[in-house]
Amino acid sequence: MHSFHYRENKLFCEDTDLARVAETYGTPLYVYSRRTITDHYRRLDSALKELDHEICYAVKANSNVSLLHLLAEVGAGFDIVSGGELYRVLTAGGSASKCTFAGVGKTREEISYALHNDVLSFNVESEEELFTIDSVAKTLGKTAPIALRVNPDVDAATHKYISTGKSQNKFGIGLDRVELLYEQAAALSHVKIVGVQTHIGSQITESGPFVEALEKLVPLVKRLRDRYQIQFFSIGGGIGIVYRGSLESGNEQWWSDSTTKGGMTIEEYVFAVVPLLKGIGVRVLLEPGRFLVGNAGVLLCQVLYVKQTTAKRFVIVDAGMNDLIRPALYEGYHEVVPVARNPKQPIVTADVVGPVCESGDFFALDREISDCQAGDLVAIMSAGAYGFSMASNYNSRPLPAEVLVDGTEAHLIRRRQNYADLVEFEVEG
């Protein structure tokens, strides 16, 4: 369930009129719903109640400090992939002892920073990284807690750029080699084996690939538990969300409707994985990113021009691929809806595009949308995950502002960049 809906044809986030938020803070503007994030967290948490579990939010999905603070408050741990993400979590009041540090290319500096702060675990992705972590820990007189990330060679049936659990992907260590590497880790003086980790990909909308991965990994986890007294098994993130038809399906039916549209409810996911994990004898960690924040955010933008050519109708908005790159990079689908709905408005087929100088700068292609004109506001839905966190200054466009809605209140949680910000770090050569 999410908290974006129409009231008398005006798009609201919770009890806040989005047209007014856009008027106050300008566009393009990311707006997030506090209620949706906490609701999704609690929903997943309670669905997992039969398991000893911890939800470690994948910070990369949206790393705004206010959102991290909110998630820390409701009890989340964090899955981090850089020193910068650890810094953000600490700034937000999160605890390093609830952070798992993933990623194939951790630097010595990052390892050292994470050791100083006593992270819960390093999720190790290669033999060389294991030895580097041992060596950095030795220099610091510390012992590094480690889990090996296992690549189960499973097809996650998702976009090729966000599939991570096949043997041709750069991630993790193959099942054929992983036990040997655990043996080597056990012999090292400055690492302590604490867990096992896996993550097969992102935006996975059926339970099959998760089940397949767990069926391959659970026997391994049990062996490692008996041998090294590991404390946790992290099953990664990847739970897909509904991008299509989000508003028309009605909020109450959000998740159950997703089933009929080829999606997977969170209950279905839990129903599929819990039986495999029950009785495993170690704590289960999950690393959801998109599931927690994806449908909790929209990108508000304003129509600048409507251009009709012989081939197409283009709706040119003031947000670009630099603000939300998902359509360009993954052909990601996002609903585009009017902030003020007019049922009398004709439906037209149009491309919704941004101002960036690339043909890949689009949000929707040949999409049936309610016709609009210059000055209208539109919302690009489901933009809470991998939206702002992947935004850039391409074309020297200042980064948008971010707002967190709480009931009737809208709080600015990141101010819009200005032109001076664009050149702030440049020095005379």
Beta-sheet strand order (sheet of 4-7)? 4-7, 10-13, 16-17
Residue 54 binds to ligand LLP (criterion: CB under 6 A)? no
Q: Which is nearer to ligand LLP, 13 or 293 (CB)?
A: 293
Among 62, 203, 295, 302, which residue interacts with ligand LLP (rule: CB under 6 A)?
203
Among 288, 297, 338, 400, which residue interacts with ligand LLP (rule: CB under 6 A)?
288
Among 195, 289, 354, 384, which residue interacts with ligand LLP (rule: CB under 6 A)?
289
**357 given a catalytic annotation:** yes
Alpha helices in 244-362 (DSSP H): 254-260, 266-277, 290-293, 326-330
Q: Which is nearer to ligand LLP, 17 or 54 (CB)?
A: 54
Which of these segments, 36-44, 84-92, 286-294, 392-400, binds ligand LLP (CB under 6 A)? 286-294
- Select from 334, 323, 316 the least CA-distant residue to 247: 334
Instruction: Give the nearest distance from C-beta 305 to ligand LLP in angstroms.
Output: 28
Burial class (CB in 10 A: 0-12, 13-18, 19+), 320: buried
Q: Which is nearer to ligand LLP, 2 or 14 (CB)?
A: 2
Instruction: Give the nearest distance from C-beta 208 to ligand LLP in angstroms.
Output: 16
For residues 323 and 354, is the Cβ–Cβ distance under 8 A? Answer: yes
Instruction: Give the nearest distance from C-beta 85 to ligand LLP in angstroms.
Output: 12
Read off the tokens for 230.
Answer: 């590991």
Residue 370 binds to ligand LLP (criterion: CB under 6 A)? no
Distance, in Å, from the CA atom of 364 to the CA atom of 369, rounded to the nearest integer, reads: 10
Residue 326 binds to ligand LLP (criterion: CB under 6 A)? yes
Among 290, 299, 353, 369, which residue interacts with ligand LLP (rule: CB under 6 A)?
290
Bridge partner residues of 347 (DSSP): 370
For residues 277 and 270, is the Cβ–Cβ distance under 8 A? Answer: no
List the catalytic residue out of 13, 56, 357, 372: 357
Distance, in Å, from the CA atom of 244 to the CA atom of 335, rounded to the nearest integer, reads: 6
Size of the site for ligand LLP (CB under 6 A): 21
Q: Of residues 219-248, which lie at the interface with ligand LLP (CB under 6 A)?
A: 236-239
Q: Which is nearer to ligand LLP, 254 or 291 (CB)?
A: 291
H or E, element range at 198: none
Which of these segments, 2-10, 46-54, 195-203, 299-307, binds ligand LLP (CB under 6 A)? 195-203
Instruction: Give the nearest distance from C-beta 341 to ligand LLP in angstroms.
Output: 27
Distance, in Å, from the CA atom of 9 to the CA atom of 11, rounded to the nearest integer, reads: 6
Instruction: Give the nearest distance from C-beta 234 to ligand LLP in angstroms.
Output: 8
Nearest 10 degrees: Cα torsion 55, 78, 258, 5: 120
Residue 102 binds to ligand LLP (criterion: CB under 6 A)? yes
H or E, element range at 100: strand 99-101
275: DSSP letter: H
Burial call 345-377: b when 16+ CB within 10 Å, e when fewer: eeeeebbbbbbbeeeebbbbeebebbbbeeebb
Residue 295 binds to ligand LLP (criterion: CB under 6 A)? no
Instruction: Give the nearest distance from C-beta 12 to ligand LLP in angstroms.
Output: 26
Residue 98 binds to ligand LLP (criterion: CB under 6 A)? no
Distance, in Å, from the CA atom of 391 to the CA atom of 399, rounded to the nearest integer, reads: 7
Q: Which is nearer to ligand LLP, 206 or 406 (CB)?
A: 206
For residues 282 and 227, is the Cβ–Cβ distance under 8 A? Answer: no
Among 162, 247, 272, 280, which residue interacts with ligand LLP (rule: CB under 6 A)?
162
Read off the tokens for 134.
Answer: 């041992």
Q: Which is nearer to ligand LLP, 16 or 36 (CB)?
A: 36
Q: Of residues 16-45, which lie at the interface with ligand LLP (CB under 6 A)?
A: none
Q: Which is nearer to ligand LLP, 16 or 202 (CB)?
A: 202
Distance, in Å, from the CA atom of 402 to the CA atom of 418, rounded to the nearest integer, reads: 14
Q: Of residues 327-366, which lie at the interface with ligand LLP (CB under 6 A)?
A: 330
Residue 199 binds to ligand LLP (criterion: CB under 6 A)? yes
| Residues at the interface with ligand LLP (CB under 6 A) | 58, 61, 79, 102, 162, 199, 202-203, 236-239, 287-291, 326, 330, 385-386
Catalytic residues: 357
